Amino acid sequence: MNGLQLIATGGALPGRTITNDALSRMVDTSDAWITSRTGIRTRHWCTEDESAATLAIAAARQALDRSGLAPADIACCVCATLSAPDATPSVACQVQAALGLPENRPALDINAACSGFLYGMAVARGMLTTLGGQYALVIGCEALSRLMDPTDRSTCVLFGDGAGAAIFRLADTTFALTLGARGSDVLHAGGPSREGSAPITMDGKAVFRFAVDALPKCLHTVLDETRLTLEDLSWVVCHQANSRIIDHCVKALHADAAKFYKNMDRHGNTSAASIPVALNEMAEAGLLKAGQKVSCIGFGGGLTWGGMLVTYSPLSHCQLSQRVSALK
């Protein structure tokens, strides 16, 4: 067994909803300016009592509840984030404690920025194949509002907070995963070791050029590896950075725009959380159906990029019954 199936999702959004009009009272911008350039209309920011960790716990608990599995079934927990509230304990360890996951299983954070959820899947798959187990919990969570300069209109209008979680099953199935990186500071956020830790800065034009190159390459790679075509996919879920990036690639691919899910109008750019938040929204809305093949494409800070092709396969009542019987 060397592939992964998506069996359940969960999500969590923080309590503050920030509209473009609200931002226009903070910086020199307008709803029309933001919407026309990004497609973003609202985003969610953490309240004082919320963090990337509290959101991750809520999203993970929801995914576990929906999966029909027990905490003991989870063989590893991987959390992708660049905005963890603490250097240690990691967000993944906080999730392990909150959900009562087994103590003899690995739990760790990774940072690949906006590609983090896909990197997390790769790490989880590797741990399942080397350490054993069948089910992995992978989370993407961010509190980017804590890293922003609220006076920089080029960045403060883009980013939001949130968390998405997914449970994957190791199985013999159609699956592909590609990852890559090229060190560059065109998208940068200072860390705690830097004096006067710098907020998020970005060379927007350079990031756009990178994204519109990376997105179709990742998609073609996973399609070629599985010998499928774009027509075989039910959905393409890209990192929700900017509507114009996705629109540009849809046009270049001569693709059906309806297959490319978008939600940045409601959430903005939530970095590592954007893909799992989108998957969870789709599952909740009934857009994801059992047996559908989905490609997820990430690109962002690092620079990093990644692509995945996975089948949505929630566990049936029969499978859950067999699992319970095996435990008796």
Q: Where residue 245 sits, what CATH number does that domain have?
A: 3.40.47.10
d(Cα 178, Cα 218) in Å, to the nearest integer? 7
Domain ranges, residue 311? 1-328
pLDDT at residue 198, rounded to an integer: 63
Report the candidate in 6, 284, 271 with the shortest Cα–Cα distance to residue 121. Answer: 6
Catalytic residue among 156, 269, 280, 296: 269
State pLDDT tens for residues 195-238: 555 688 777 788 888 888 999 999 999 999 999 999 999 999 99
Q: Which two tokens stand for residue 84?
A: 């963890």
pLDDT at residue 117, rounded to an integer: 98
Cis peptide before 314 (omega within 30 of 0): no
d(Cα 98, Cα 15) in Å, to the nearest integer? 20
Helix, strand, coil percentages, rounded to 5, for the chain: 40, 25, 35
Which amino acid would we find at residue 80?
A
φ/ψ of 32, rounded to 5, equals -65, -40
Cis peptide before 287 (omega within 30 of 0): no
Q: Are 79 and 63 in contact (CB under 8 A)?
A: no
State yes or no: is 76 an active-site residue.
no
State yes or no: is 44 an active-site residue.
no
Catalytic residue among 114, 141, 238, 296: 114
d(Cα 169, Cα 191) in Å, to the nearest integer? 34
Q: pLDDT below 70 — which residues of the chain?
A: 1, 191-198, 317-328
3-state secondary structure of 183: strand
Catalytic residue among 77, 111, 239, 242: 239
Number of domain units in the chain: 1
State yes or no: is 269 an active-site residue.
yes
Residue carrying structure tokens 């075989």: 232
pLDDT at residue 36, rounded to an integer: 86
3-state secondary structure of 165: strand
pLDDT at residue 1, rounded to an integer: 56
d(Cα 171, Cα 311) in Å, to the nearest integer? 11
* pTM of the predicted model as reported, rounded to 2 decimal places: 0.93
Report the candidate in 255, 275, 254, 256 with the shortest Cα–Cα distance to residue 264. Answer: 275
Residue carrying structure tokens 């187990």: 133
Q: Are 5 and 169 in contact (CB under 8 A)?
A: yes
